[in-house]
Structure 1
């Protein structure tokens, strides 16, 4: 069987290449891949030639269950490019399955008319000239802008200025950084913006939670893609930008901007496999490393020397690297230091930055609140990565120290990431972690906190496989809790029956020799939180993995907090 999964535009550098164009995701079942590829190549070349796009190119990526096919196209013709690519696929699939071909010649005639309506030669000319003048140019279906922050202008795409009327010298670049990784992205963009603030810079942040300029949240929601980046960089208050770049955004559209001064890859671990042709953690790592394509010539890629997948991929690059590690004697850190390169590491509890043979003591881990005196090892790593990122952007040690010391692990500074509430003598940890790597890190943090007993509340989304749900539950089992509370999340059933996920979790807990009396099912996360606190005593640690009802839970806990 040949299935067309999705056709979409690629607007920035992406996993397949650096060109704008269209991508076709196809899934194959019991099909001859070489035969499918041969027919695709024949049809896409025929249609590109027929369309007068001989100068355009095509490529592909083979994966375990099919192909990602891509064609390049002018940036003002991406919708038409999607139609051309989809038509090529239908012709390919028809031939492979020995079915009647679609009337492709008639469809191509219609697409030529659509192309005329979509094209915007003036926009293309402005984009080309912006590149010649090293001026940032951001565009979407509605607007085009030149420059960033205070020194930028924007126009509707149908009211663009003539190229010779543009004063290119007035537009300036502001420092920009990408932050990506499986876990820690949001924490790192928030911490980095706090450091920039300590240096008197109004930093902007895009994340999966919001867009913020300085201390003002201008939009709530997932803005880790190109739309969020454009909104932030077009805000005249933005003086420095920290852009969270998620896997989905890279695969759907490509990178949100083409040029950044630094990038941070926090870690790579299994999460969201099976989407957009990404079925292995190795392919996921390749996706994360797409951020390196946007680095300027002198830009710095900050990478985690304690993460094997990151090390494996980083060592293949020619970018300027800054390695970070919790251990001074990490082999990558030692190699980097021996050549005078950039490195951030911990020595006897102190964070150090090295470059060109000079060691700079930054501060003690115990002085960084979000590390919980080192108990939160994942936040130690996040702090180290951000130090490397901020040094790459030229921020001062004084600002870095101030930011590290004043960034809390609370719902104000870092909502949903290791937030701690003290209630009736118990310590309540709230975290939004939802993948195995993240949940293990939070469980490890909790285990380093002295407790009479542990209580855990958690949930899983229904689109996880049974095996994934079991692995996530095993991560929670590492807490060795006296009480486990699987909570139903109706919002995230995603094809499952009500209570199906909770029942799976209950069965898995019991198969792991957890007594039935130590398991209590909850109808919702909020009900689970209430159950957890009802069974908590002074000296206990309660770990709450909150997948939904986040605001309600925060308000309820804040009301009870000491």
Structure 2
């Protein structure tokens, strides 16, 4: 029998299990009925809460090999909730293993003391009044803020304002939106920001690469979680916010705010499976759709009608949906048009928006939008469709949407690491961050639209991907029918693998698929792989460089030596 704690953590917003903040346990369970384990845990939680005189509730989610179990708590008691949940787990494991019962009442009394020390009644009063006045309140370990953007005020958590001195009418929200999906998130937030700029709005962006307000990058790094959202919404310069929301952030903490005007789900495909109890793409789709819990009652969810997983998951929703599709005759596009609901599609090789409020609005020719590479980059046609729907939901002018689309390119300046093109020695080099089968397939399809004498490709795999995932990604690379395959090691992303384990495995797999051994080479890093690819290229070649690591170094190498 396996009963093992994986992780306990705080949930600060609506999440996969429910809409409440609290604590969550991820546990491994094997050789025993998981429901019986959950029942024992819940009974211990009940005993502890009764002793502590702290009424809360529990929920859980079972998955293959384990369970996630959550305990609700107010925002001023999340750490104690984690301690209660974990202690209840320890008691459950002891009981199920037939071990002697410990003095749990003493520990419960200690937890009650910890609860009283952690609780902040003044904070809860302000949060309740903010909700009553429809003012956005955001709290964390260190600070409380009211309002957003120019109207925001921030206080240290231990120096809260007097309720009687707050002028609730002084606080305002700014337009804000979530962007999530397996691929296309960062491109979408950047494009949306460019459109807002064309409308004269100083937009802020959080992403896996940086946090940015207007043209100023505040910091580089992964800001796709609640911390990045708080920082952006508390910045007085932010007039509109585009918040990238990644799978990991949703599972670790929940969504960062619960009142966005719109949300975009670009697509759902296999990626990062096996983490936090998410083992199937169907479960991953449920994670992505948590963003719908953050919509205001009048908010719009923008969804990809060309993605089967998105379409299936949307059947469970009851909210305003704007569908987008490359196919003007897609049944969901037709249905929305007939129901006077918004939709975005391609018609006569143009991007078109339609809703019950207006006639069809022809925005711009697809081929004129630089990021589509004259229509060759179908994944960016999809990204543009989604962002058009998002920006229309935020009531941005059509003219600004058009200008933003025309201004936004595939250069490293506009969209670093996403389909960037360089000229080198008469060859074309395409640099991209793609690191799962879905995104790699999109880039391979784009590369095949480019005129080429030969193809050279360099790619890598992170160590936490399953062998099946790695083979699937390799199958997509193989479709390029390249003249050289360069497999780079990622020492920063070994994640339990041995050095060169994956390059050797992928090399052997390619050869089993019929690729000659002489056409395959393993190198110690993406930078080494890029240098090798450049040394092999001839005029008229197309080089496709998939760079999960050392992207900036490779970019510098290319701009230093480009034609």
Task: Extract structure 1 runs of 4+ deviating beyond 6 A.
Answer: none
- Displacement of 1:468 after TM fit? 1.8
Equivalent runs, 1:392-431 vs 2, <5 Å: 392-431=393-432
Secondary structure of the 2:523 match is: coil
* Counterpart for residue 541 of structure 1: 542
Q: For the residues of structure 1 that align with 2:460 and 2:368, how far apart are their CA atoms?
A: 33
Q: For the residues of structure 2 that align with 1:136 and 1:110, how far apart are their CA atoms?
A: 34
Secondary structure of the 2:388 match is: helix
Secondary structure of the 1:405 match is: helix
* Counterpart for residue 88 of structure 1: 88
Equivalent runs, 1:400-479 vs 2, <5 Å: 400-479=401-480
* Counterpart for residue 123 of structure 1: 123
Q: For the residues of structure 1 that align with 2:249 and 2:132, how far apart are their CA atoms?
A: 27
* Counterpart for residue 557 of structure 2: 556
Check if 1:377 corresponds to 2:378: yes
User: Does the aligned pair in 2 maintain the 1:462–1:496 contact within 8 Å?
Assistant: yes
- Displacement of 1:119 after TM fit? 1.0
- Displacement of 1:64 after TM fit? 1.0
* Counterpart for residue 53 of structure 2: 52
Secondary structure of the 1:521 match is: strand
Secondary structure of the 2:76 match is: helix
* Counterpart for residue 205 of structure 2: 205
- Displacement of 1:547 after TM fit? 1.4
> How many residues align structurally?
561
CA deviation profile, 1:181-201 (whole Å, cap 9, x unmatched): 000000000000000000000
- Displacement of 1:162 after TM fit? 1.1
- Displacement of 1:103 after TM fit? 2.6
User: Does the aligned pair in 2 maintain the 1:35–1:96 contact within 8 Å?
Assistant: no
* Counterpart for residue 14 of structure 1: 15
- Displacement of 1:122 after TM fit? 0.7
Equivalent runs, 1:220-231 vs 2, <5 Å: 220-231=220-231
Q: For the residues of structure 2 that align with 1:458 and 1:193, how far apart are their CA atoms?
A: 30
User: Does the aligned pair in 1 maintain the 2:424–2:562 contact within 8 Å?
Assistant: yes
Q: For the residues of structure 2 that align with 1:525 and 1:34, how far apart are their CA atoms?
A: 46
Q: For the residues of structure 1 that align with 2:163 and 2:39, how far apart are their CA atoms?
A: 43
Structure 2 unaligned residues grouped into runs of 5+? none
Equivalent runs, 1:498-517 vs 2, <5 Å: 498-517=499-518
Deviates more, 1:314-323 or 1:219-228: 314-323
User: Does the aligned pair in 1 maintain the 2:195–2:405 contact within 8 Å?
Assistant: yes
Equivalent runs, 1:47-446 vs 2, <5 Å: 47-54=48-55, 56-356=56-356, 358-446=359-447
| TM-score, structure 1 normalization | 0.99
Q: For the residues of structure 2 that align with 1:44 and 1:443, how far apart are their CA atoms?
A: 52
* Counterpart for residue 4 of structure 2: 3
Q: For the residues of structure 1 that align with 2:335 and 2:209, how far apart are their CA atoms?
A: 37
Secondary structure of the 2:147 match is: strand
CA deviation profile, 1:446-490 (whole Å, cap 9, x unmatched): 111111111000111112222222111111111110100001111
CA deviation profile, 1:161-208 (whole Å, cap 9, x unmatched): 111111111000000000000000000000000000000000000000
| TM-score, structure 2 normalization | 0.99
Q: For the residues of structure 1 that align with 2:180 and 2:231, how far apart are their CA atoms?
A: 19
Q: For the residues of structure 2 that align with 1:8 and 1:225, how far apart are their CA atoms?
A: 14
Q: For the residues of structure 2 that align with 1:42 and 1:14, how far apart are their CA atoms?
A: 23
User: Does the aligned pair in 1 maintain the 2:38–2:69 contact within 8 Å?
Assistant: no
- Displacement of 1:50 after TM fit? 1.5
- Displacement of 1:210 after TM fit? 0.2
- Displacement of 1:297 after TM fit? 1.2
